[in-house]
Amino acid sequence: MSEQTFQITGMDCADCARSIEKGVAKLDGVALCRLNFTTETLRVDGSVDQETIVNRIRELGYNVAAPAAEQTAPPPAAFFPYLWQRRDTRLALLAALLILPGLVFHELLPGAGIDGVWIDLTAVLAMIIAGLPILKSAWTAVRVNHEININVLMSIAAIGAVLIGAYTEAGMVMVLFVVAEAIEGYATARARQSIRSLMELAPGKATVLRFCIDCASHMGQDGYDGGPCPICGLEEQRVPVADLRLGETIVVKPGERVPMDGRLLSGSSAVNQAPITGESVPVEKQPGDDLFAGSINGQGTLEIEVTHLAEDNTISRLIRLVAEAQESQAPAQRFVDQFARYYTPAVVAIAALVAIVPPLFFSQPLVAADPAQGWLYRALALLVVACPCALVISTPVSIVSAISNGARHGVIFKGGAHLEELSRVRAIAFDKTGTLTQGSPAVVAVRSVACRRPADDACADCDDLLALACAVEQRSEHPIAQAVVAAAAQRSLDRQYAAAEDVQALMGRGVTGQVNGRAVTIGSHLFFDDHDAHAAHCAELEAAANQGYTTMLVRRDEAYLGYIAVADTMRPSGETAVAELRALGIEHLIMLTGDNEQTAHKVAADVGVTDVRANCLPEDKVTAVTQLRQQFGHVVMVGDGINDAPALAAANVGIAIGHTAQALETADITLMRDDLRLLPFAVRLSRATMRIIGVNVALALGLKFAFFVLVLLGLGSMWLAVLADMGVSLLVTLNGMRLLRRPKMGEGE
């Protein structure tokens, strides 16, 4: 048993997808069949061969895209070229010309006195030309699927209209229905394309530095007899990105897109990462920094080491996750689809009762001189009103638009279910380290014993202290040491002293080294307790420790010089994000951390969180999230996606911050950049989505009900019913597509 994947073309609404899914599922050897309307992807599990599946799809009136064209053929930008490229629509437009005499002289100007058999004949011909594909599809649905779908309803209505003499109505129903389906297909295709545009972010080719192989120009020189040419050396070669290997060096010139995830080896530039992370401001990149495939290089030429293969780079993972998200239905979408399954047969039964009961029990005319006054006509009109297109498209187009908007801003939803669940959130639990804080230490204070300035005002003595510490610490890879080096580099002090010699660790309590022939020692407060020279700073050191800072004392030879305080700094966006969440009505914001109470409450006070759970082991965080779910019902857990996986899984929705592979794989929602303001944006987007879905469903059902009443009162016609259904289908589609652009970052609800 194996899985086969097909890209379906020709679907205009979710009802089409159900017909294909049901028809393919009836083939012998098919164990499981799943078709997602928004991605147009059909997956079939079983032992059935590919040709049999393709033939069944074509028998149902649809087609299968060639593998190479699956993701590369965008819909036409213009509306009319899209309509004209469809054979069914071209036939319908021809039929519209034939229906004009009947529309003008029978429907709009019945008193003009112009009549004739030729008007009826052209109307019937129009019905046949426009409706032949619909009639064939309807027959296949009944014969193969044993179901009544929208094509069956329209076919019965059109044929019935001909039988009772409503020829113009019959032609109008078919013409308007085909055009309406095409318009609906166009709108849906535009929504789909917003996701497929992700695939255009990374270029298909890259410039790689490679030796030329078997160089004819230098063969035989200096003993060269083939293979990599040592005389030519490395040359720039254009190759498909799929041919790149790990560790190779690629060259990205100014203005080019980065073709592959990698690490910058040489060059510097401001890189626009907005296509991947949604950041509006270019990010300065220096050697050692990571770059994403799909980001846009600025002014410098970059040499980048390839760190991921094409199928595993950031943009490939994004495309895969977003495509999977579209295939994961939200509960609201599943409810609408289930409702539509019973809705259509129920309306057919009601239409049958409308045609039978009044003539049989109340002596009402089945067919009248004016066809619109007969109860058979009203029953046929009800079949037209029953078209479920507007209803079934109301939810998926909203979901796919919201997922697209989120991806564009750097919020990756793994499914519509998570989007819907986020809209109900009542409590949010945050991890501290790496979520509310940067997750890496930074120097927050430098204080020389000779400094007489205020504590937050550095002087030459303080700068000299930092430069000395940098000389010793630059030999270490410890995060705190790197924080000292980074702070010195920021003040241009990293080259004031040469790197220390004879650097030795002091059993976990510090480090010492020789700088300009003198011993410089950096150690903890406890290590320096044997020396009373630092007594002037003891009170400051205790205060720093109470604030959760790590302090390092520095001496040269036996002379105490001062201290450096290091702390895990707050994310700049944390306080703003918490304030925005409170403005959205989410009052229960909880911080879970393994830090002690004192440090935890200090961070919580800085960011604005009032509920703190400190000293939490990973299992304690899971317990806390479980208790919060019992208390509030709908709980979100926000973490860095690395050590918070159990807590993320325990929450209703797990949200990871960061673009690491762990974050993308472990969370239900991923914030692609280190900006917590994406969190309130995601909440606003989810709430807007559910509001629009509710409005769309209400519009679709409300219009159906209104036309039901009009038809039963004899005030509605079949072609007006089709026109109205086309209008509401367009309305709900366009309303759902608003989510492609709104909300934006920073907007209120």
For residue range 187-227, what is the model confidence (pLDDT) as tens digits?
667 666 655 555 556 677 888 888 777 776 677 677 677 77
* Among candidate residues 542, 325, 509, the one with its CA nearest the CA of residue 415: 325
Letter string b/e over residues 433-461, b meaning 16 or more CB atoms within 10 A of that residue's CB = bbbbbbbebbbbbbbbbebeeeeeebeeb
Query: How many distinct helices (H) and strands (E) make up the chain?
Result: 24, 25
User: Which of 72-86, 390-404, 671-685, 696-710 shows the highest mean pLDDT?
Assistant: 671-685
pLDDT digits (tens, 9 = 90+) for 327-346: 555 566 667 667 767 777 78
Taking a C-beta distance cutoff of 8 angstroms, is the pair 447, 462 a contact? yes
- CA–CA dist 749, 728 (Å, integer): 25
Average pLDDT over residues 437-459: 80
Lowest mean pLDDT among 49-53, 89-93, 553-557, 722-726: 722-726
DSSP per position, 309-320: -GGGSHHHHHHH
Beta-ladder partners of 445: 565
Tell me the C-alpha distance between 501 and 520, whole Å.
10
- Identify the active-site residue in 12, 88, 337, 431: 431
* Residue 256 clears pLDDT 70, i.e. is over it: yes
- Residues 409 and 617: beta-carbon distance below 8 Å: no
Residue from 732, 699, 701, 706 nearest 721 by CA:
706
| First-residue to last-residue Cα distance in the chain | 49
As given in the structure block, the two tokens for residue 129 are 């030309």
Q: Where are the domains of the chain?
A: 2-55+62-73, 81-195+328-397+693-740, 203-312, 410-437+571-679, 438-570
431 is catalytic: yes
pLDDT digits (tens, 9 = 90+) for 615-632: 887 788 889 999 999 999
Range 600-604 average pLDDT: 84
Return the pLDDT at 643. Answer: 65
pLDDT for 665 equals 67
Rounded to 10 degrees, the C-alpha dihedral 172/177/182/188 comes to: 150
Dist. CA 315–CA 279, nearest whole Å: 15
Assign domain 438-570 to its CATH superfamily: Calcium-transporting ATPase, cytoplasmic domain N (3.40.1110.10)
Is the model more confident about 737 or about 426?
426
pTM score: 0.73
- 439 — phi, psi (to 5°)? 85, 0
The answer to whether 622 and 647 are in contact (CB under 8 A) is yes
Cis amide linkage into residue 110, ω under 30° from 0? no
26 pLDDT above the threshold of 80: yes
* pLDDT above 90 for 106: no
| Lowest-confidence segment of 49-53, 125-129, 230-234 by average pLDDT | 230-234
pLDDT at 318: 66
What is the reported pLDDT for 231?
Answer: 65
Burial class (CB in 10 A: 0-12, 13-18, 19+), 23: buried
DSSP state of 281: S
Residue 432 above 90 pLDDT?
no
Q: With 0-12 CB in 10 A as exposed, 13-18 as middle and 19+ as buried, what is 227?
A: exposed
What top-level class would CATH report for the domain 410-437+571-679?
Answer: alpha beta
Does pLDDT of 75 surpass 70? Answer: no
Does 482 have pLDDT greater than 90? no
User: Residue 184's closest CA among 10, 386, 399?
Assistant: 10
Token pair of 14 as six digits: 């979710």
| Mode of pairing for the β-strands spanning 559-570 and 283-285 | unpaired
Residue type, 28: D
Chain centroid to CA 420: how far?
14
Give the CATH fold of the 2-55+62-73 domain. Alpha-Beta Plaits (3.30.70)
Is residue 71 very low, low, confident or very high in pLDDT (cuts 50, 70, 90)?
very low
Interacting residues of 350 by C-beta distance below 8 A, sequence separation 6+: 382
| Residue 608 zone, left/alpha/beta (φ > 0; ψ -120 to 50; rest) | left
- Residue 68: is its pLDDT beyond 50? no
Whether the domain at 2-55+62-73 and the domain at 410-437+571-679 fall into the same CATH topology: no
Percentage above 70 pLDDT, the chain: 86
Alpha helices in 410-553, H assignment, sequence order:
416-422, 460-473, 479-490, 538-546
Q: How many residues does the chain have?
A: 749
Identity of residue 611: D
pLDDT of 122 reads 92
pLDDT at 124 over 80: yes
Centre a 10 Å sphere on the Cβ of residue 222 and count the other Cβ atoms it contains.
7
Q: What are residue 441's phi and psi, to 5 degrees?
A: -70, 155
Residues 6+ apart with CB under 8 A from 698: none
Does the CA dihedral 519-525-530-533 come out positive or negative? positive
Check residue 69 and give its pLDDT: 43
How would CATH label the architecture of 203-312?
A: Distorted Sandwich (2.70)
pLDDT at 185 over 60: yes
In 542-607, the DSSP E strands lie at: 550-556, 559-570, 588-592
Q: Is 331 exposed, middle or buried (0-12, 13-18, 19+ CB in 10 A)?
A: exposed
- Number of Cβ within 10 Å of residue 58's Cβ equals 12
